Structure 1
Amino acid sequence: MKRSLGKMEYMQIAVLLAMLFAGFANGQGRQQRILSQAGVSYISNYLPRYVSGCDTYTCGTNAKCTISEGRPVCSCLNLHMGDPLVQCVRVECQINEDCLGSRACLNNKCIDPCPGFCGLNAECHTRDHVPTCTCLARYTGDPYTSCRIADPQAACKPSPCGLNTKCEVINEVPRCTCLPGYQGSPLSGCRHECESDAECSNHLACSSNFKCENPCQCGDGANCEVINHRPKCTCPNNWLGSPYVACRPECTYHSDCPQSKPACLNQKCANPCEGVCGINANCQLRDITPICSCPKDMTGDPFVSCRPFEPLDLCQPNPCGINAVCTPGHDNTGKERPVCTCPTGYIGNALISCQRGECLSDNECPDNRACIDFSCQNPCTGRQCGPSATCSPRRHIAVCTCPDGTRGDALVTCNPIDSRSSFNYARYYRYK
């Protein structure tokens, strides 16, 4: 399909024709230059021929076509290289900006530009595609050629500190401190901790090293007390020896002690019986344990006091049974011994136990019973009345009466009544 020329193209042709014919006399070379500048190809018959645009012109693979001064131009696409008329091949980069900031474009590849770039003992960091070199920590010099170990004490040379001080560089800043044994201002100068005892606390003394120190140099096991800068050495209580040489305890084991003081107490030999038992008490050792007791003819608390026996001591403590009463007495040989009895109102075995009786008085018994031996019993036991009398328990006592047909003293005897004597007896009482 043919394309018609536009108005602008007709104007360009007219101008070119005029220029061509006007300069024909100048020769073929000049015509060729004019046509070339106008974007028209030169033909052997000296007539201009117009080339079509990019729509009919095909560039190579991965190439693009653009019009420049009226003529098509083939070029590779971005990030591509090769022959634009044949084929362009994609590359990683063409300029640094095609890479990350930590990479640079070299031979169309994004690479780390640091390897081999910096000098000895230097480290490399890439920023905006440009490698930058810096010396390692504690190194100084030209990082692009060589770095050397820096002097960490350079800030202390010369020392800005005073006399008797130590200068140290910390974070590149000099720091001044007093030397051991010295004190004061490290910037102006330091002096000894002390020159005399008066400059130390009372419990310290100024040593040969001009330091306030403990002056104690006592023997082994000794106690030391510093008074006004002077040491005082003493052995502990109950210890033997010289406090300036060595102190030792009087004993460590019981076997270290004599028989008169057989026990090792608090590292001192002692008699455990001393001051332990009461007055008049005996003390005997069982191993090293004191045993206190009263003598055989004495009694009491052996830890307080012992005294001679008294009759009442036979009943202290009470050797009798429960609820029984103890009283001092004698046995068949006349030897003193405790006597056990049940108290009034109690019955039982006084050596074992006494229990309260059934009663203490007749009022605690029924009318026909009497309180006999703390028990409610029949008061008629067969011994209260005469042989032929009748005994009736009433009001807690025995009542004796003669049976009917008898008379007499019911407590002695009752005799049968004779009819005559009964008549005369009745008449006697009737006339009386």
Structure 2
Amino acid sequence: MLYLAPLVLFAFLQPQVEAQRYYNYYSPRNYVGRNLYEHGRSISDELVRCGPHTCGVGAHCTHGSVRPVCACLPGHSGDPLSQCIKIECVSNDECRGHQSCVNQHCVNPCEGACGVNANCDVRQHVPVCSCPAGYTGNPFTACRVADPGCRHECESDSDCGVQQSCRDFKCISPCSDCGVNADCETVAAHRAVCKCPRGYFGDPYRICTAECESDSQCPSYKPACVYNACVNPCTNACGVNADCNLRGLTPVCSCPRNMTGDPFTFCRPFEARDLCEPNPCGANAKCTPGHDRTGAERPVCTCPTGYIGNALVSCERGECELDSQCADHLACVGYQCVDPCLGNTQCGSGAVCVGRRHIAVCTCPNGHRGDALVNCYESNSVVASTRYYRYKRNGNFTEPEAPTVTATEVVVEASPKPSADKPETKKAETEKKE
């Protein structure tokens, strides 16, 4: 910024000579020159040129006769020695339709133009003030609520709620527009949206008619009347691959003969393992897929090892599995401890059967002789004691070959006196050597 220094020098060289004046010019940063004026004209002792800071922002510098001249650029205004600002507008035509040119700027002319509660609209760059509907007063000062007086409840649908419409100047529900038996689903844009209910057909804004009112009105392929509509009860009632048959009007689901599974969810091809799922056998019984006499696949029920009973009813743990688990005089037969002599069929006629070490032992009683496994008979001349054993192998009783029995018969003769040179007669017993 250049300014004129207040330094003025007066020189009086001669009484008749006009004083010379010096005017120094400075910028905020440095001295830029001095002009000497004499007799009304400028005599510069130093030529001043345009520097980078001679003029302000937005201004341009030109060389005058003796010093620089600063001026704002075209389209700018302001102080060329400090700052020139770009001019936004000169007239309203240079602004948008809703703006006005004020102080070379496009601004909203409504700011502060209208009164309290008033509306402001810009028309051709000019603010237009008005009181809104239902208000009265001076729009340039203030608008107040107007006294409505007597009026209708509504003049149009917009005067009513979103779920109502204006009928005869009253706000009412538009659902009355729906036809006979129709349902009013909702109200959109003050208009009813009507629909025929399930099982009804027709124009919902006129009349909806039911397909049926009883089962007798339905055809055979859709025999049931459900919610006034004829339907097939088997539709979507059963699972995948399942068969559906009607008993009356009740759907009955079942898997086909060659399939198994839950007919209400899914049926799959039959497999052998399905014979035992679920287990058709008795409690604790084992089920194994097998075949019957005709070759058809059937489940086979057996009691597991160590169990006895009816596999179709129940299997219970047996009394034993080994002879050692029974008393000495009993044997483990069919997982039960039983007398090996049970039934009296192990020994011959007249023989005595005694259980010992879990085996049936057959002997001919004293005074008898013979094969204890076949027949024992009385003998007056000799005392024969023959013993045979029956033993069990692989769960069955086995009869060994009868051993050779040697019987010695000793005849005892009567004598009044015993002789010293004759030995005393003794009885010999025949023993079975094992």
- TM-score calculated relative to the size of structure 1: 0.44
Higher gyration radius (CA): 1
- TM-score calculated relative to the size of structure 2: 0.44
